[in-house]
Amino acid sequence: MSIGYDDTGKFIGLIIFLAWMFWLSHMSGQIILNPVLIAFGWRFYEVTYRHAGSETTHTGFALAKDEIRANEQWKHAQIRDILVLKDTIDGRENVSS
């Protein structure tokens, strides 16, 4: 694809696309995070956690739709090295506002 200065429609489209990509990357704090996840409200965190019944502390990455607060227990699924957090153990459904 080539863009010339005389083709303003393509040039403006490229600028809008680049601005959108920058905005999504800036909002997530992570350039590598999928922009679709950002658009749907997911956030990427670096967390320190412990499994129930264990005293061993782990550090890793997590995706969550809501803000993560300290000392809460979350239901999760692990996909490779990333925890996907759904809702808290006490049954309270976390809903983004």
Q: What is the DSSP letter of 29?
A: S
Q: Decide: 45 and 61 in contact? Cβ < 8 Å.
A: yes
Q: Decide: 82 and 61 in contact? Cβ < 8 Å.
A: yes
Residue 42 amino acid letter:
W
Token pair 């000392």: residue: 71
Q: What is the DSSP letter of 93?
A: P
Those residues with Cβ within 8 angstroms of residue 12's Cβ, 6 or more apart along the chain or in another chain: none
Of 3-7, 48-52, 63-67, 77-81, least confident by mean pLDDT is 3-7
> What total number of domains does the chain contain?
2
User: Is the pTM for the entire model greater than 0.95?
Assistant: no
Question: Is residue 7 situated within a structural domain?
Answer: yes
pLDDT, residue 16, reads 92
pLDDT, residue 39, reads 78
Do 73 and 47 belong to one domain?
yes
Is 50 exceeded by the pLDDT of residue 94?
A: no
Question: Is residue 78 situated within a structural domain?
Answer: yes
Average pLDDT, rounded, for the chain: 78
Question: Is residue 57 situated within a structural domain?
Answer: yes
Model confidence at 73, pLDDT cuts 50, 70, 90, reads: confident
Domain coverage including residue 68? 41-97
